[in-house]
A and B are shown apart, each in its own frame.
Chain A
Amino acid sequence: MNRVAVEKSVLSENNQIAANLRETFGTTGTLALNFIGSPGAGKTALLEKTLELLRPHTRAGVLTGDIQTDNDARRLMRYGYPVRQITTAGACHLDARMVQVHLEDWLSEGLELLLIENVGNLVCPTSYDLGEDAKVVVLSVAEGEDKPLKYPGIFRKAELMILTKIDLLPHVPFKVELARENARRIHPEIEIIETSYTTGAGFDEWMNWLRARARKKAPVGVGTGAASV
């Protein structure tokens, strides 16, 4: 018997594709965000409102992942931006190769903003780097405040937590402060924005966050790049 030390990442192939995507996004000045949340957390509604609020002529695209159906893509297409559905046929997460394949010609067209809606799941998508600039975790007030403690992986990796459906707060026993506290126990630097698709609350703050990130991503010496978002 011969023992060989390896120290090789199990997801090294995915990570290599993700690194290539990240390099490409850097060159094209594309801000790529990976939205992760439970089924029903409000990811699609968040993206709908985001597309509605983008400045005209923003070059944005959406990849949306689901195990089956193209329902989300059809919802998102109504806003006039290119949308592609990634149907994973059973896989509980998107991986970098799926993103690479579905981007096809978008990058050569100079996409400023790429919104990736992952499959509804707080566990599996966490392990797969998609080459994104940031992971955004979406949590609704219809869930438990202890989600960050139950699923620490995604809350550790996400730069931003968007708390959705806050218009439901009078009707549900969700304690916002406790949810914030739990999220920061896991990730002290995580940013938190509270939103409601129904009332529009919090979307100014969210769009400001998005635009600030886009400005940072604009390629040096190439106009405003993603700053027009």
Chain B
Amino acid sequence: MHEMGIASSVLEAAHQVLHRYPGQRLSKIGLRIGEFAGVDSESLKFCFEAIVKSENLAPLALEIEFCDVAQKWRGDELEIAYLELEDPVPTEGPVESVEERI
């Protein structure tokens, strides 16, 4: 349950950032987890994949990196380190010409 909530929060936070890049599609989320965050990475990945599947967000990957306390923070943080974005795949179908519409 905890990891499901975290997975939802990860996607929510990533989509908030994505709004700054109109037209781009999210392909990967890089997540940093402090060693005392109390998050099981396998369970988090499982929950993340379940949401990706149920919300038709595929292909969207999650990459998890654990940080030790000395490295950065108090060790209890969860942080989106980076996003990988792609241009949207053009949709197939007849190309509407401007002239035809006029």
A1 at the interface (CB under 8 A from B): yes
Complex formed: what's the CA distance from A127 to B40 in Å?
13
Q: How far does the alpha carbon of A4 sit from the alpha carbon of B21 in the complex, in Å?
A: 10
How many residues on the B side are at the interface (Cβ–Cβ under 8 A)? Answer: 33
Query: CB-defined interface of B1-44 with A at 8 Å, one 1/0 digit per residue?
Result: 11001100110111011000100100100110000111100000
Q: Using Cβ atoms and an 8 Å threshold, which residues of chain B touch A5? A: 81-82
Q: In whole Å, how far is A17's beta carbon from the nearest beta carbon of chain B? A: 13
A188 to chain B, nearest CB (A): 14
Interface size for chain A: under 10, 10 to 19, 20 to 34, or 35 or more residues?
Answer: 20 to 34
**A8 closest partner in B (C-beta):** B80
Find out whether the CB atom of A156 lies under 8 angstroms from the CB atom of B82.
no
Nearest chain A CB to B78's CB is how many angstroms away? Answer: 4
A12 interface hit (Cβ, 8 Å): yes
Q: With A10-B31, A156-B75 as known contacts, state yes or no: A4 contacts B17, CB within 8 Å.
A: yes
B56-98, CB under 8 A of A: which get 1 and which 0? 0000000000000000001111111111111000000000000
Instruction: Tell me whether B78 and A11 are in contact (CB under 8 A).
Output: yes
List the A side residues contacting B76 at CB < 8 Å.
Answer: 126-127, 153, 156-157
With A126-B38, A127-B38, A156-B76 in contact, do A7 and B81 touch (Cβ < 8 Å)?
A: yes
Determine the chain B residues whose CB is within 8 A of the CB of A90 once the complex forms: 1
Residues of B within 8 A of A (CB): 1-2, 5-6, 9-10, 12-14, 16-17, 21, 24, 27, 30-31, 36-39, 74-86
In order of increasing CB-CB distance, the 7 nearest A-B pairs are A124-B2, A10-B78, A153-B36, A123-B38, A153-B38, A2-B85, A6-B80
